[in-house]
Amino acid sequence: MYHIARQVTRRLGTMAAIASASLVRPVDTIGILLTQERDRLFFWLPVVFGSGIGLYFALPMEPDLSIAGVVGLLALFAMWQLRRTAMAPVALVFGLVALGMAAAVLRTMLVAAPVLPAEIGPSQLSGTVERVEVREGDMRLTVRPTGFAGLRPADLPQRVRVTVRTRGDKARPGDRIEVLANLLPPSPPVEPGAFDFQRHAFFRGIGASGYVLGPVRVVTPGTSADQAVSRLRDHMAARIRAALEGAAGGVAVALLIGDRGGIPARDTQALRDAGLAHLLAISGLHMGLVSGFLFWLVRFGLALRPKIALYLPIKKIAAVAALCGGLFYLVLTGASVPTIRAFIMVALVMLAVLTDRRAISLRTVAIAALAVLLMTPEALTEPGFQMSFAAVTALVAVYERFGDRMLRRTSDTGPVGRGLIYLAGVGVTTIIAGLATAPFAIYHFGRVADYGVIANLAAVPVTGFWVMPTGTLALIAMPFGLEAVPLWLMGQGIDLILRIAHGVAALDGAVRLVPAMPAAGLVTVTLGGLWLCLWSGAWRNLGWLAILLGMASPYMADSPLVRVSGDGRLTAVTAPDGGLMLSTLRRDRFVAQQWLARTGASEPGGRWPLDGASVDGSLRCDLLGCILRRDGWMIALPVDERAVRDDCGRADVVIATVPVRGRCPSARIVTDVFDLWRDGPHVLYLDARSGPSMQSVNASRGHRPWVWRPIPRSEHYWRD
């Protein structure tokens, strides 16, 4: 007992000394911890570089490229000069942040293109088809225009995206077409903080979107390489559908060709509700399965010949074959941004095999993230990048820490034990990936599949060991006309996955809607997760605190009291019970669905009183508008100019969908149809202490190249 007490006392004294040193000299303590973690500092390079990109997108105005670049280079030079001092890491961080911002500025300058000034049409659109997306009931074309509505060539958008609803029309990449189209600029976010459609379109060069009236006339068939790839994809899709009918054929085409248009909406919704929608999006899972199966197949085939196995590096030959197969799969599936990211990761893994290095590690993940951010800095804001790297980082970190220990414990098990261990591994992998991607699913989609772990535990092994291997064999056998049997086997696996999806989606509470997570909450979760995964010492557990705070942020953030769409046709009021009352259920259905999703609801929470009062009595309406009373404040919502004069004399806030001419002596805040037209959707917050405050979409985004404004911002001349 004496020895135990002595050891406890000694440890307590050591801990007290460490705590005292931490309080007295925190800089030295951090320096010691960083020295202990110096082998893992490289993993933070893409995080710091990405912080500069994130800072760029958070700024209210466009920074200067030369300033950001020069600051970054000077900081790196300072780091080199101070490389033997404690200030070197500080200079490195500062330099990488500045260079990340400079990379984002340069990318913005390179992709900048004209945006349609206003809604135009119907008018004749001519151009070259770049991309064709066949969907259920229609077709969407991405066109590089050569003429539209008499616009000068310098004013034409670089690309436009149009929907074709005429049956029987078939256009291919490379075709020069003429259509009668109605086009309008890309839509703004539905409210401040929501998904920015204009920014998404800007970095893809899409300056307008709309729909086609009438048939598509092909002026000149394309003869480019894109046309050849398109014809190959069409030919392969036709052969797949000939072998597999119905939903199985549509899913097979989606997995092998990248065309999801043939999947029935019912099956797509079931996969989404079951947490299996990621199986349809060509990403790291599919690229890894195809390349991994080719690697195993080539290596296994070469190992059957002893002379080849003894005298040739069959592992490296298999890596080259897998890399070539992954490149072909990338081109075949349309080379989308997530697929390109997945191929970069696979290429780095195969390069590690060729150079006799560890194939999968956090260093590989860091290099892949750096490569993607250098080429496409805007990827940092996209859910595909965030979710894929979150899942990969978490999985690699966990298996890097516990993988060797698990292998040692399971090395002596038999076939049955290994099978059970594999199933347990799939379950653990699914749980880790699901937890890592859940915050991003909440932020971008506002929904969580509560039984996603169960569905993935059943469906992922079927995909990995049944569907994708047989699909890869079908692609290999297709040039020889022998794809029927592999496709039939693939179809049986797809049918099983669809049955799993429908079964799980039918369970009570399969989908849980969550209120919108603020951007600060997502940043907090992300930094906490990175802190937990990238460090190895005990201090990494501080990341759990940041994760918990970020996950609680949707329930801590304030919700707008009033929402008004950019065209003024839709208004929503938050009821005292948290439900959303919509002024109409017929107009702007997409905006209404987005508003409901951001409140964590699927249906309106109350009836909008067309003539009378709401259930709680706080909202009263007539033919001229509505009056909302909440916490002693009066908010007027006039829809007729006859009500404006009266509301301006008594209301604290006036939000009008008609012009407000003259002064509003009683109102602290006045917003009218011109404000909505110029600054996009508006939201009104009501704080018990500070009172009402108004935010608009354009004001929250600032003066950025992707923010479309019909006219320069100025004060209304009729308001003195």
Residue-wise pLDDT tens digits, 647-705:
998 999 999 999 998 888 888 999 999 999 989 999 999 987 888 999 999 999 999 99
Q: Over the Cα atoms of the chain, what is R_g?
A: 29
332-354 confidence digits (pLDDT tens): 887 776 777 778 878 888 888 88
Q: What is the pLDDT of residue 494?
A: 92
Tell me: pLDDT of 82 over 60: yes
Q: What is the pLDDT of residue 27?
A: 53
136 alpha-carbon distance from chain centroid:
23
Tell me: pLDDT of 18 over 50: no
Share of the chain above pLDDT 90, in %: 31
Lowest mean pLDDT among 55-64, 241-250, 389-398, 704-713: 704-713
Tell me: pLDDT of 88 over 80: no
The strand pair at 682-687 and 580-582 is best described as unpaired
Q: What is the pLDDT of residue 15?
A: 43
Tell me: pLDDT of 21 over 50: no
Lowest mean pLDDT among 109-118, 352-361, 661-670: 352-361
| 643-to-233, 336, 621, 652, 694 alpha-carbon distances in Å | 60, 52, 11, 15, 21
Residue whose C-alpha is closest to residue 451's, from 426, 433, 434, 429: 434
Q: What is the pLDDT of residue 418?
A: 62
Tell me: pLDDT of 169 over 70: no
Q: Which residues contact 492 (CB under 8 A, 6 or more apart)?
A: 466
- Between 680 and 413, residue with greater pLDDT: 680
604-638 confidence digits (pLDDT tens): 888 888 888 888 888 999 989 999 999 889 999 99
Q: What is the pLDDT of residue 417?
A: 65
d(CA 245, CA 648): 64
Tell me: pLDDT of 74 over 60: yes
Q: What is the pLDDT of residue 17?
A: 46
Q: Name the pLDDT band for 1 (thresholds 50, 70, 90).
A: very low
Q: Name the pLDDT band for 499 (thresholds 50, 70, 90).
A: very high
d(CA 27, CA 379): 34
d(CA 222, CA 335): 19
CB-based contact 322:343 (threshold 8 Å): no
User: What are the beta bridge partners of residue 620?
Assistant: 613, 627
| 678-to-90, 188, 620, 693 alpha-carbon distances in Å | 43, 11, 28, 18
Tell me: pLDDT of 11 over 50: no
Tell me: pLDDT of 365 over 70: yes
Please, what is the angle between helix 337-354 and helix 383-410, to 10°?
Answer: 40
Q: Which residues of 326-359 are buried (b: 16+ CB within 10 A; e: fewer)?
A: beebbebbbebbbbbbbbbbbbbbbebbbeeeee
Tell me: pLDDT of 403 over 80: no
Lowest mean pLDDT among 5-19, 47-61, 195-209: 5-19
- Identify the three-state secondary structure at position 147: strand
CB-based contact 516:189 (threshold 8 Å): no
Tell me: pLDDT of 241 over 80: yes
d(CA 555, CA 512): 14
Share of the chain above pLDDT 70, in %: 88
| 421-to-334, 407, 416, 659, 710 alpha-carbon distances in Å | 36, 10, 9, 68, 61
Mean pLDDT estimate for the chain: 83
Mean of pLDDT values over 309-328: 87
Tell me: pLDDT of 713 over 70: no
At which residue do the structure tokens 């049986």 appear? Answer: 492
Q: Model-level pTM?
A: 0.83
d(CA 99, CA 75): 10
- Between 476 and 337, residue with greater pLDDT: 476
